[in-house]
Amino acid sequence: MQIAALLYRLSIAFWTGGTALFTFILTPMLFKALSRDQAGQIVGILFPGYFRWGLACGAVALICRLIMRGTALVPACLLVVMLALTSFQAFSIEPRAAALKRQIPSFDTTPKEHPLRKEFAKLHGISAGCNLAVVAGGIALVIMP
């Protein structure tokens, strides 16, 4: 039971920390240092691993939570929501955004008003909202007993 509790805390910390690092530090640094096209290409390469990391950490956390048989329903429900958001990003938003990126010759030269860029921006906004919700949920889980 103590090992499950330890793994639960570690997986939540790794998931939340990884998401925060990618969202608030790595991605902005890439877009500041490189052109939009270069940074977007790198981030696009990293996304599959990034989402697999979140799904793996979330699955470990949920399994450990179930093993711990805690009476608190809120943490388990929060984990399920976080996993659902990450799954939505990994299996719906990211593939659609990647397909749109392939149709846009350059983000540096294609106007923001272009219909494909508008659709991409919409998907990006949804994904960013999901990321923020996962970070907020992770912080809540780290604080919860």
Q: Which residue segment(s) compose the domain that 124 sits in?
A: 2-143
Least confident stretch, 7-16, 70-79, 101-110, 127-136: 70-79
Tell me how many domains the chain contains. Answer: 1
59, pLDDT greater than 80: yes
CB 19 within 8 A of CB 134: yes
Mean pLDDT of 111-131: 97
Q: Which residue has the tokens 């998401």?
A: 19
Mean pLDDT of 94-114: 96
CB 73 within 8 A of CB 79: no
CB 141 within 8 A of CB 8: no
Single-letter amino acid code for the residue at 96: R
Under the banding of pLDDT at 50, 70 and 90, the label for residue 71 is low
CB 59 within 8 A of CB 10: no
Is this prediction's pTM over 0.75? yes
> What's the mean per-residue pLDDT of the chain?
95
Mean pLDDT of 1-5: 90
